């Protein structure tokens, strides 16, 4: 550390010692506190103070103390996410269409990437092709698709898709664009009629 920083640190320590040993006058102690606080803030904002903090943070022993291990992180996340308070928070959050839409948008690219990766994975594609080529599977697929249970499930899936906030937002955008185009078309037709 530089000598200026050492001197400033020594001065701060002296100030602490002097203020703690002085008479307990609340007015003067408040003044001393605010003066000391200003000095400390000034030292920390100085280039030497910033450099000293950077040096401390670069120290390997400090890094190991600051970095949590993977098990602690996993336990903390698990505890936080599974608590009753957090379950209620997530239930309420998923009722908000804006939150669900932003979450779906945020995850959409990663889901697409996972599917793309799987489609280029030869092992996955071989397994999928084998499943689809199997005549017993084809027969089962056909029977399932013609059954009432499948149709009910398909209907519920379609209803779920239609009810999803992301789908609703897309449909809303399409309808607003169509209405806007229609109103522009009507206004241009009205102008033409007024001109004749």
Q: In this structure, is residue 76 part of a structural domain?
A: no
Q: Do residues 54 and 106 share a domain?
A: no
Q: Does residue 133 fall inside a structural domain? A: yes
Closest CA to 11 of 50, 44, 53, 39: 39
User: Do 106 and 188 share a structural domain?
Assistant: yes
Q: Is 51 helix (H, G, I), strand (E, B) or coil?
A: helix
Domain identity same for 93 and 36: no
Q: Residues 59, 149: one domain?
A: no
The reply to whether 73 falls in a domain is: no
Q: Are 45 and 101 contained in the same domain?
A: no
Structurally, the chain folds into a number of domains equal to 2
Tell whether 72 is covered by a domain: no
- 174 and 91 fall within a common domain: yes
Asked if residue 155 and residue 60 are part of one domain, the reply reads no
Q: Which of 40, 66, 92 is the last residue of a domain?
A: 66
Contacting residues for 48 by C-beta, under 8 A, at least 6 apart: 1, 2, 4, 5, 8
Stretches in the chain below the pLDDT threshold 50? 1
Residues 119 and 154 in one domain: yes
132: left (phi over 0), alpha (psi -120 to 50) or beta: alpha
Residue 158 contacts by C-beta under 8 Å, 6 or more apart in sequence?
none
Model pLDDT, residue 175: 92
pTM: 0.30
Same domain, 89 and 186: yes
Range of the domain at 31: 3-66
Are both 173 and 108 inside the same structural domain? yes
Same domain, 103 and 61: no
pLDDT at site 13: 66
Q: Are 29 and 19 in contact (CB under 8 A)?
A: yes
pLDDT score, position 174: 92
Let me know if residue 77 belongs to a domain: no
Q: What is the pLDDT of residue 1?
A: 47
- Collapse the DSSP code of 24 into the 3-class scheme (helix H, G, I; strand E, B; otherwise coil) and give the result: coil
Is the same domain home to 93 and 185?
Answer: yes
What are φ and ψ of residue 83, in 5° steps?
A: -70, 155
């Amino acid at each position: 550390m530089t000598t200026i920083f050492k001197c400033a640190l020594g001065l701060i320590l002296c100030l602490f010692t002097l203020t703690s040993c002085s008479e307990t006058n609340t007015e003067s102690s408040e003044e001393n506190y605010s003066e000391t606080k200003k000095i400390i803030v000034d030292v920390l904002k100085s280039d030497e103070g910033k450099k000293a903090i950077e040096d401390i943070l670069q120290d390997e022993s400090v890094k190991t103390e600051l970095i949590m291990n993977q098990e602690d992180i996993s336990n903390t996340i698990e505890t936080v996410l599974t608590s009753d308070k957090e379950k209620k928070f997530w239930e309420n959050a998923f009722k908000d269409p804006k939150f669900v839409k932003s979450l779906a948008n945020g995850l959409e690219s990663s889901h697409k990437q996972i599917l793309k990766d799987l489609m280029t994975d030869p092992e996955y594609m071989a397994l999928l092709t084998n499943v689809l080529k199997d005549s017993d599977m084809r027969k089962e697929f056909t029977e399932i698709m013609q059954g009432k249970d499948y149709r009910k499930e398909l209907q519920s899936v379609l209803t779920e898709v239609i009810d999803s906030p992301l789908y609703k937002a897309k449909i809303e955008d399409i309808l607003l664009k169509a209405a806007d185009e229609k109103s522009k078309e009507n206004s241009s037709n009205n102008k033409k009629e007024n001109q004749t």
